[in-house]
Amino acid sequence: MTDDSVPDHRAPAPAPAPTPDLRASDADRERVAEVLRDALAEGRLDMAEFEERLEAAYRARTYGELTPLTRDLPTAAAAAPPAPVSFTKAPAESGSWASRIVGGEGSSAGGVAILSGFERKGRWTVPKRFNCFAFMGGGEIDLREADFADREVEINCVAIMGGLQVTVPPGVEVVVRGIGVMGGFDHPRDDDGPPEPGAPRVVIGGFAFWGGVGVSRKVTRAEQLRLKERRRQERVERRESRRELQRERHEGRRELRRERRDREY
């Protein structure tokens, strides 16, 4: 016989693991995408395999479809279903600007292209000052997935009969101060709105002679796939909404005909 006044300190039974056919959320798909990006940066996946898996991740509907995409990667546990979260407080975003301003030194101090080319893209750390030079060659500086050594970084570009391309993500403040002689510096469009709070400031300066420095804003390929998938889902939802409206109208007409027949008889 037990005494009801004595509290039971036994731990509750663990919740059952989600089944493979459980529907996955956007956060689950993004978690898998982050694992794939890290694997690409570490050389575990080539670009073709990365793009194939990333597209499959954003198409996935269930945990069973997500799990095989990271099963052979060291951080495959990141693709597992997340623990239950509280809806009283939103978790901080792992990709927030605060997490991308890491301090310290950059992973690359500059790039040189003489009758050749260079590129800095993917996961890398932009130093406080990045110097690049192109003579009858070209270079690509892609900041979309980069971390930043400081809240303000400077990219000094010198292009002589060559070209340099700087790509920044939306939300970053960009200031262009370069001088062109029979050449020029592009200015990115500001139709994405004002800079996001906490975003870094990128100052692009230097000199272009018979050459050019291009500056553009673009989202990452992963984000392009996400937006493409979102648009597809919206089209599906609109089609379903139209079908539902047509069914309701059809049912209404049938009900109206039924009422007319009842009045006639």
Do residues 147 and 126 make contact, with C-beta atoms less than 8 angstroms apart? yes
Cα separation, 132 vs 109, in Å, equals 9
SS (H, E, C) 38-94: HHHHCCCCCHHHHHHHHHHHHHCCEHHHHHHHHCCCCCHHHHCCCCCCCCCCCCCCC
Residues recorded for the chain: 265
- Phi, psi at residue 40, to the nearest 5°? -65, -45
Tokens describing residue 231: 């648009």
Q: Is the pLDDT of residue 210 over 70?
A: yes
Helices 221-264 and 26-41: angle between axes, nearest 10 degrees = 160
pLDDT of residue 240: 80
- 130 and 105 in contact (C-beta within 8 Å)? no
Whether 41 contacts 122, CB under 8 Å: yes
The token duo for 191 is 């139709």
CB 163 within 8 A of CB 190: no
DSSP 107-145: S--EEEEESSEEEE-SS-EE-SEEEEEEESSEEEEE-TT
The reported pLDDT for the residue numbered 190 is 63
The two tokens of residue 129 are 């000052």
| Residue-wise pLDDT tens digits, 28-78 | 888 888 888 888 877 888 888 888 888 888 888 888 888 888 888 886 444
Q: Are 67 and 118 in contact (CB under 8 A)?
A: no
**Per-residue model confidence as pLDDT tens digits over 247-263:** 878 787 787 778 777 77
Q: Which two tokens stand for residue 14?
A: 């663990």
**Which range among 7-16, 146-155, 227-236, 255-264 shows the weakest confidence by mean pLDDT?**
7-16
For position 93, what pLDDT does the model report?
40
Helix, strand, or coil (residue 37): helix
Containing 3, the helix (H) or strand (E) segment is: none
**Looking at residue 18, what is its pLDDT?**
56
Domain ranges within the chain, ordered by starting residue:
26-79, 100-217, 221-265
- Condensed to tens digits (0 to 9), the pLDDT of residues 131-148 reads 999 999 999 999 998 999
Residue of 37, 97, 92 lying closest to 220 (CA atoms): 37
pLDDT category at 82 given cuts 50, 70, 90 is very low
